[in-house]
Amino acid sequence: MMFNNINPLYLITDRTLSGLSHTEMVREALDAGIRTVQLREKRMTKNAVFREALKIRQISARKKALFIINDYLDIALAVKADGVHLGQSDLPLEEARRVAGKDMIIGISTHNLRQARAAQKGGADYIGFGPLFPTSTKDAGLPRGVEKLRELKKHITIPIAAIGGIGAENIKTVMENGADACAVISGILHGNIKENIKQYLNAFRQYVW
């Protein structure tokens, strides 16, 4: 399984929210106990993303954490990341799998059941689904809500990483309605990263126990 039951917290990096480099964010997050990180960068040159990814690969390997790169399959392959996460307008899943091979994790962003079914049928290892609740981090349309997540879970057998407006206070609801992991950006990166992660992990542990 990609996500373990006690710590299914998935950080997606964002420099504009944290004011830190991707490497600094990941280092703090992994020190605080996160074990899945995604490098997401839309504005830096690919050369700069590659350099950050190299550093993160070294750090994540030492911590035995999963390292996913958003969008850039070539960079993921070059730094030997664990996986790549693709959006609906990125390289098609079938082509990504052909290039990456069977061992690399491939995740797909989905916003409805049709997209989720297509990702599962196409061989994705997991899907991102959202936004679940209102969020200002990314414009991905109206919130889907936990009802849509619960319906999705009836048809999808690969892991689901829910995203969008997820805080420590609603983790229990998200997990009970079918999520295998919670992908978080602003909830972790606004303010004290380590303290924010501590609150999320405490919420997960209460849910599991």
Which residues form the catalytic set? 40, 109, 138
With 0-12 CB in 10 A as exposed, 13-18 as middle and 19+ as buried, what is 161? buried
Question: Quick one: which of 161, 155, 90 has its CA closest to 131?
Answer: 161
Question: Which residue, 108, 101, 148, 114, is CA-closest to 128?
Answer: 108
Can you spell out the DSSP letters for 41-60?
A: -SSS-HHHHHHHHHHHHHHH
Name the 3-class secondary structure at 201.
helix
Which among 29, 57, 37 has a CA at the least distance from the CA of 189? Answer: 29
Is residue 45 within 8 Å of 73, Cβ to Cβ? no
Paired tokens of 82: 């664990």
